Amino acid sequence: MSEKPASESVSEKDLIESAIQFAYQLTRNRNDSEDLAQQAWMKVQRKYGSVPNRSLLFVAVRNTYYDQLRRNRVVSFSSLEHAPEPSRWDKPGYGIDLEVALAALSQTERLTLKLNLLEGRTANEIGERLGMPRGTVLSQISRARKKLRKSLGEEMGFSERDVA
């Protein structure tokens, strides 16, 4: 019987074959899976000098696959000739002065809203950064959104009931 001892490492050929099989599960194409496994193998080789284990290689295959998906994403643009007519909010007289509405917020409300909406931070992250509890952060964000809805809604002709 030719069983391998537990201490013996997996051969390069076995690692490559398992990487190709894993890549095939992702791509569903034999040629693409071979290319993907080869690219991942090279990345790991360059970074570590060798491929120490299967899990590291599989992570590299997965990450390389996702990188390729992002790079190959098709972005389509539509012609402005068929764009919808401007709404009543786009016409003169209905301009929203967002800066004035934001200036009406407290500094803490503005900061928590900015960190949440613009930077994509969670309430926990914002709390750690600003030294406040998560619940307080959530209250600040909620309060800021409510104030913005109220002030922008009034400017746009909505009643308070419409924006609540």
Per-domain residue ranges of the chain: 12-71, 89-163
Q: How far apart are CA 54 and CA 42, in angstroms?
A: 14
Q: 89-93 long-range CB contacts below 8 Å, 24 or more apart?
A: 89/156
Q: How far apart are CA 87 and CA 143, in angstroms?
A: 28
Highest averaged pLDDT of the listed ranges 30-44, 76-90, 92-106, 120-134: 30-44
- The mean per-residue pLDDT over the stretch 84-94 comes to 56
Q: What is the pTM of this model?
A: 0.43
Q: Which residue has the higher pLDDT, 103 or 47?
A: 47
Q: Give the pLDDT confidence score for residue 91 in this predicted structure.
A: 52
19 band by pLDDT with thresholds 50, 70 and 90: very high
CATH architecture of 89-163: Orthogonal Bundle (1.10)
Taken in order 108, 112, 115, 118, the sign of the CA dihedral is negative
Q: Give the pLDDT confidence score for residue 76 in this predicted structure.
A: 67
Residue 150 has pLDDT above 90, yes or no: no
